[in-house]
Structure 1
Amino acid sequence: MTKVHSEITQFRGTHYDFGYAQGLSLRDSAVLRNRQDSWRIRKPRFQTDEQDAKRAFMQFAPGIWDELTGMRDALGVPMTEVLRDFGHYRVNAKPSGCSILTGTDFMVRNYDYQPQTYDGRYSFFQPTDRGYAIAGPASRVTGRMDGMNEHGLTMGYNFMQRLKPGDGFVCHMIGRMILETCATVDDAIQLLKELPHRGSFSYVVLDRHEETYVIEASPRSVEARKSNACTNHFELLTHENRHHLDDSRRRLNLIQQENSTSIDAHAAFRLLNDTDKGVFSDLYKSWAGTIHTTAYFPKERKAWFALGGNQEPVVFDFANWLQGEDMQTESVHGELDTQLGIANTD
């Protein structure tokens, strides 16, 4: 077993100041060392042109470009290194798992991936310059793997396939952009149709109006469908699917069977987080082990978070935080059934 933890970070201010603060916290950190060491082991198979990246960010999320600039200034490194490690534009994403179930007033999500990539940061950010306030676990510091914004819009994404990548943003940055710039599911659908996509993912969104969609996105096409369950295969863009989908279909069938009687949020959380229910995954070496389980409640603007399986979630009151009341929890702890380390640990 490997002990894991996520630090709770809270920031109110401009994007540049947020980036600068994150850069200071990363200096001499295990997260930064592990990120840099990974490039010594394997050379990047991509190149990111700084001006090209800036144009893309300025079109869709200029505040995040300011954040990257702040990180550059705090870290004292070239912008090319910041873009390589934290820009998430034209980089490559590894395959992963993930399962999502929504109800009329909740979303529950398993994040399935490789622990050595996991930042161990749960971020609350309320920008004072532009964009919406966001709560959720960070991915590669600037991205978000799931989360909720001040309007109650909730998002999680699931990997589909990595063949024939395009020139565009990867999933965790797209997730961040959805939360930072969209108030409703209709906004999210429109944004995903305009954004350039690097890989093929489904983005599940739920808003306070009880609207929930699975938005299937690849570098070549984007289609939206109403559904309350999603694993790792497309239902509309079937020509984009991988050949081996048995585990994805197995998990989806389990979720749909349990949800046939209108499952409530607590039961949905137990379905995904309990290790004996068949949805929680221990395939960490295959980049598909469950690291965290989250739940979001758009109307109440509350969030649940747990690391590892068979856990009771920590509850965050995002609505109170938006009114200026800081979170008292400093970190969340758990265990994973693996010997692999985690990115925020030496």
Structure 2
Amino acid sequence: MKQFHSDVTQFRGPHYDFGFYQGERLKRSPILPNREKQWGPRKDRHFLINLEEYKAIMATFAPAILDEIRRLADALHMDMEKAFRRFGGYYLEYSRSGCSIFSDASFMVRNYDSHPRGYEGRYMIYEPTDQGYAVIGPSMQMTGRIDGMNEKGLVMGYNFTHSRKSGDGFLCNMIGRLILENCANVDEAISLLKEIPHRHSFSYVLLDPAGESHVVEASPREVAVRRSNVCTNHFHLLNEENRYRLEETRHREKTIRDQQQHTSHPYQAFKVMNNPAHGVFSKKYDAAAGTIHTSVYFPRELKAWFGISPDREPVIFDFNKWLQGDDVIVKKSKANFNIIAHL
């Protein structure tokens, strides 16, 4: 049995200060040394290669995040080229993963599937005072977001499709951050996803207080939009972009539809995703497709639930109260994974 946790970080202020704050905390954390071990001798080919192009693109879409990365580098005494490569979220490789999403008119519930070894364990609540919307959700690669909700009630989660035929572009986690900090509703998020370059093929599931869920199928070559409240790891519209073996993802999609049609309350929907008895929660950690966390977001109430590992009671965050100045008292969310593989 391996124990993991997610630290809850809350911050109000400009991106510049937020970057330095994160860097100071990361100096005392095992996250960066562990990540260096994971990257290993192959790391150079995983990182973006045109730094000037990246900075120009970010200056267009999110210049404040550039400030955040610069101050991260200052705090970590890291040269800027290395910092952009480590935290820039552009033109990197992405590990295979699962992930499942179900949405109702009033909430979205999402399982993030990967391997605990690469999980950062940082749940971020950040309100920028320079530009962008406040966002709540777990981080990836320090500056990116795995899923989340912003102060306007826009909710975002993404599911991996494949990394074949990759192109120059942003990673899913940075795309998630750009959506949440820059877009007020589903329509704006769709427009952004059509405009920015994509490194790999992912589905981005979007929900806002209007209550209609959209799935944006995005590849380096094309972006298509459909209305749906269930998403796993295959495209419906961009069929030519799908992987060759789709049995598992289609079966999981059907399981979610079958199980969720009997739910009448968000807690029941959470349990369908988080309790292995329902057949959605995955324990395939060796294949980098085991469920790490289950998130629930309520765009009208501005509340979020978060649970790590199977069959857990969710930690509840009142994002609306936090936006009004009430800090959350939760500092850490703990979890145990029964994993046979070497971590």
Q: TM-score, normalised by structure 1?
A: 0.96
In the comparison of the two structures, how many residue pairs are matched? 342
Q: What whole-Å deviation, never above 9, does each CA across 1:112-132 have from its counterpart, x for those lacking one? A: 001111000100000000000
State the 1:255 CA deviation: 0.8
2:213 is matched with which residue? Answer: 212
* Structural mapping, 1:161-172, within 5 Å: 161-172=162-173
The alignment status of 1:187 with 2:188, answered yes or no, reads yes
Contact 2:6/2:332 (<8 A) preserved:
yes
Query: Comparing 262-271 with 110-119, which one deviates more in the overlay?
Result: 262-271
SS at match of 1:92: coil
2:77 is matched with which residue? Answer: 76
Q: Which runs of 4+ in 1 moved over 4 A?
A: 339-342
SS at match of 2:278: coil
CA RMSD, Structure 1 to Structure 2 (Å): 1.3
Question: One-letter code of the match for 2:37?
Answer: D
Query: Comparing 256-265 with 295-304, which one deviates more in the overlay?
Result: 256-265
Question: One-letter code of the match for 2:256?
Answer: I
Q: What whole-Å deviation, never above 9, does each CA across 1:217-256 have from its counterpart, x for those lacking one? A: 0000001100000000000001000011111011100111
State the 1:197 CA deviation: 0.2
Q: Distance in 2 between matches of 1:122 and 1:47?
A: 26
1:20 is matched with which residue? Answer: 20
Contact 1:3/1:334 (<8 A) preserved:
yes
Contact 2:160/2:202 (<8 A) preserved:
yes
Q: Residues 209 and 47 from structure 1, CA distance in 2 versus in 1: closer, same or farther, beyond 3 angstroms?
A: closer
1:142 is matched with which residue? Answer: 143
Q: Residues 295 and 341 from structure 1, CA distance in 2 versus in 1: closer, same or farther, beyond 3 angstroms?
A: farther
* Structural mapping, 1:79-98, within 5 Å: 79-98=80-99
* Structural mapping, 1:187-336, within 5 Å: 187-261=188-262, 263-336=264-337
Q: What whole-Å deviation, never above 9, does each CA across 1:254-280 have from its counterpart, x for those lacking one? A: 111123356431111011000111100
State the 1:78 CA deviation: 1.3
Query: Comparing 39-48 with 162-171, which one deviates more in the overlay?
Result: 39-48
Q: Distance in 2 between matches of 1:341 and 1:8?
A: 27
Q: Distance in 2 between matches of 1:43 and 1:287?
A: 19
Question: One-letter code of the match for 1:328?
Answer: I
Once the two structures are aligned, what percentage of the paired residues are identical?
Answer: 50
Long gaps (5+) in structure 2: none
State the 1:72 CA deviation: 1.2
Question: One-letter code of the match for 2:142?
Answer: V
The alignment status of 1:36 with 2:33, answered yes or no, reads no
Query: Comparing 207-216 with 254-263, which one deviates more in the overlay?
Result: 254-263
Contact 1:234/1:241 (<8 A) preserved:
yes
State the 1:207 CA deviation: 0.1
Q: TM-score, normalised by structure 2?
A: 0.97
Q: Distance in 2 between matches of 1:139 and 1:115?
A: 12
Question: One-letter code of the match for 2:20?
Answer: Y
Long gaps (5+) in structure 1: none
